[in-house]
Amino acid sequence: MTRLLYFTLPLWAGSASAQGWGNVAKKEEETGFSWTAPLWPSFWMAWTPATFALFCGIFGAIAIIGLLEVFKYRDGIERRGILGLTTTLGDRLFISLLGSAYIFLAWLGLVGQPLWWPLGISIAWGLFCFRKV
């Protein structure tokens, strides 16, 4: 049994070293782009690429819907959906976004992370809003 240890210990050490043990005190090397690192460290708004992408998505969606309403679906865009509400494209975007926020918050509060399930539910909710509401 002891002999087995003699043989395997160096292997363990080797694998631990390969996993990066013993490098704790070393400065982490710049690995390039990270979604969660500060985007502009000296700027006060504390942007990260992740939150920046989130807002790009929201404003992009608003812009696309605005353009669609102005150029493609002029007039007659309103319709009554299954909830009995008269909604335009913008209303439906608002309902999808607000609903998604609540789906994520509810999941976080009741179940916790990770959030793949609520992501799926939110996409389904968004599709439902744009097709039926």
Partner 1 sequence: MKTENQKAWLFVLPVLLLVAFNALIPIMTVVNYSVQETFGNNVFFWQGLDWFEQILRSDRFHAALGRQFMFTFLILIIEVPLGIIIALSMPRQGMWVPVCLVLMALPMLIPWNVVGAMWNIFTLPDIGLLGYLMNHTLGITYDMTQDPLAAWITIVTMDVWHWTSLVVLLSYAGLVSIPDAYYQAAKIDGASPWKVFRYIQLPKMKTVLTIAILLRFMDSFNIYTEPFVLTGGGPGNSTTLLSIDLVKIALGQFDLGPAAAMSLIYFAITLLVSWLFYTLMTKDDAE
Binding site for partner 1 (CB under 8 A): 36-38, 41-42, 44-48, 50-51, 54-55, 84-86, 94, 98, 101-102, 105, 108-109, 112-113, 115
Judge contact between 117 and 100, C-beta under 8 A: no
Are 96 and 130 in contact by the 8 Å Cβ rule? The answer is yes
Q: Of 101, 87, 94, which Cα lies nearest the Cα of 132?
A: 87
To partner 1, the closest distance from the beta carbon of 40 in angstroms equals 11
Select 32 or 84, whichever has its Cβ closest to partner 1: 84
Cβ 119 to partner 1, closest distance in Å?
12
3-state secondary structure of 86: strand
